[in-house]
A and B are shown apart, each in its own frame.
Chain A
Amino acid sequence: MAFEGLADKLQNVFRKLTGKGKLSEADIKVAMREVKLALLEADVNFLVVKKFIKSVSEKAVGQTVLESLTPGQEVIRIVRDEMTQLLGGSLSDIKIASNPPTVILMAGLQGAGKTTMCGKLGKYFLKKGKTPMLVACDIYRPAAIQQLKVVGEQAGVPVFEMGQEKPYKIYQAALKEARKNGNDMLILDTAGRLHIDEEMMAELKRLRDEAQPTETLLVIDAMTGQDAVNAAKAFNEEVELTGVILTKVDGDTRGGAALSVREVTGKPIKFVGVGEKLTDIELFHPDRMTSRILGM
């Protein structure tokens, strides 16, 4: 599972810190270098790491820490607090519109796992008594509509499509259909796009403006490296995200992208994808994740 490698490394650093008794400024410097390496190996963005280390170091070399009877514990507490903040507080579920339908817009880079996640969310909310409908707004990828149809069928959720029509028009028609059939949730699948592709980003924005989604979610691959922040920042600026979904967490990645994306967008991670099956979806608990990473 993701994050385990990072957890191992950090706990190693902590063990050394608590094993020492008294700590000097030099000890803390060594420990901070190790934390920095662990975070970089986990793919946390370099600039995020620098900021994190600076903030922890400043607090850790303060009088109260160095003079404390258990300085190691103090340093660990500081790292833990900063990490908890980085991962963003408590659970945040999908918002449900007071005036249905709830509209969820899925966006992200190519191959991140958007279409699969549409099916997972559809199934998830169907079980919660909602009547979701998937909307095929990826008009480019070969067989994208067919893929969504298969996924919808597996989930037991209807799929609305209009072939290669403009996404905002597909949305308009889907809304009418939803009103007619009493669907209280629309989940919009969109084409994967690069954050620097102006035309494609404009298309997404047009769809966002039309749909006024309850949730605009960035779907991001947990294996993403340093570039995660660039994509996340650009999507957030263009369509104002309300949250993030992290996919492929069932891999052995250390998952630093999660920390970076959270830091640069300030938006919570709401769900994680933990496999290819439609039931492989979990709510994201930042506090539990922090505990797991820090071994508490």
Chain B
Amino acid sequence: AAFTRVDEDLLEELEETLILCDMGVPTTEKVIAQLRDRIKEERIREPEEVRRALAEIIRQLVEYDAPEEKYPKIILIVGVNGVGKTTSIGKIAHVYKEEGKSVLLAAADTFRAAAAEQLTVWSKRADVPIVKYGEGHDPAAVVYDAIDSAKHRGTDVVICDTAGRLHNKKNLMNELDKISRVIDREYPEAERETYLVLDATTGQNAISQAKEFAGVSRITGIILTKLDGTAKGGIVCAIKEELGIPVKYIGVGEGIDDLQRFQPEEFAKALLD
């Protein structure tokens, strides 16, 4: 046709785009239904305007009010294997350090080969101290010691690395529960955060990850990593919609500066690119 129209083909194309971003069928269908309503209500006629309206709907879906930062703070980093936990810790440590805060890292992944060595490299890059034991030690004991040390030093932010674990493994999730209890018991005066690290390339399984980790410890935010690739990480829309967990940071590379605060508008736009 000589003129463009808002028709079923366009809606289908947009639906496809969302599915290909890993938003998942249920959330995609809800979002598209909202879009239909808006097209009708606002009598949208131009495809460009439709896209804008869709971006707006997605932005509203993922946005949240960030609470004010309080110190001292302890951040527990959790997630399945290989998503970018240890790397993100190096980046977050750098962010706080740059803001003039004192930071301490706890190497509570005592399981994976060379995990503590890896975190040590990051502690040097960020120029922050680290508490670590040898491989095979009790991770809860590392966290206990880090808290103790933070109290003595008057540290602003403690960040605890944990071993990657699949959320369907009961014994490993129990171990995490133990670490979580140590924090609650030993450091009640600290502002407690638990970040779930999600790899942007992950598909629908991320929902199951979020549910199971939230069952162990209240997840206060998501770090969405590897957004510098071609994956868009649309699954966080479904997680926000189903579980109300917001994205806090995004990872956009392997360098120490490659961490950004989550920007709902930019994220929504990138999904539709």
Contact = CB atoms under 8 A, between A and B. Distances in A.
A285 interface: no
B208 A252 contact: yes
Interface in A217-257: 221, 223-228, 230-231, 248, 250-254, 256-257
Interface stretch (A35-43, A52-60, A91-99, A179-187): A35-43
B19 A223 contact: no
B82 interface: yes
Contacts of A250: 166, 168-169
Interface in A74-129: 109-113, 115
A127 to B, nearest CB: 20
A228 B114 CA distance: 28
A251 B204 contact: no
Contacts of A144: 114
Contacts of A24: none
Contacts of A248: 80-82, 166
Contacts of B31: none
B118 A111 contact: no
From DSSP, what is the main secondary structure of chain B's interface residues? loop
A196 interface: yes
Given A109-B201, A111-B199, A257-B203, A230 B25 contact: no
B235 interface: yes
A216 B117 CA distance: 29
A142 B118 contact: yes
A154 interface: yes
A227 B231 contact: yes
B230 interface: yes
Contact of A276 (B81, B208, B229): B81
Which of A43, A196, A254 has most chain B Cβ within 10 Å? A43
A230 B204 CA distance: 17
Given A143-B121, A226-B22, A227-B230, A154 B82 contact: no
Given A40-B25, A196-B230, A227 B204 contact: no
Interface string B1-33: 000000000000000100111101100000000
A276 B83 contact: no
Contacts of A231: 201, 229-230
Contacts of A196: 229-230
B175 interface: no
Contacts of A147: 112-114, 117-118
B159 to A, nearest CB: 16
B84 interface: yes
A253 B167 CA distance: 11
B113 A110 contact: no
B22 A225 contact: yes
A226 B118 CA distance: 30
B242 interface: no
A252 B230 contact: no
Contacts of B171: none
B201 A224 contact: yes
B20 A251 contact: no
B189 interface: no
B257 interface: no
Contacts of B203: 43, 223-226, 228, 253, 256-257
B160 to A, nearest CB: 18
Interface in B77-102: 80-84
Contacts of B202: 221, 223-225
B80 A251 contact: yes
B266 to A, nearest CB: 19
B122 interface: yes
A226 B25 CA distance: 12
B229 A143 contact: no
Given A110-B84, A111-B84, A228 B201 contact: yes
A146 interface: yes
B168 A227 contact: no
A259 interface: no
B254 interface: yes
B228 interface: yes
A89 to B, nearest CB: 25
Interface of B: 16, 19-22, 24-25, 80-84, 111-114, 117-118, 120-122, 135, 166-169, 199-206, 208, 226, 228-232, 235, 254
Given A146-B114, A221-B82, A248-B80, 9 more contacts: A142-B118, A143-B117, A150-B113, A194-B228, A195-B229, A223-B80, A225-B203, A225-B235, A250-B168
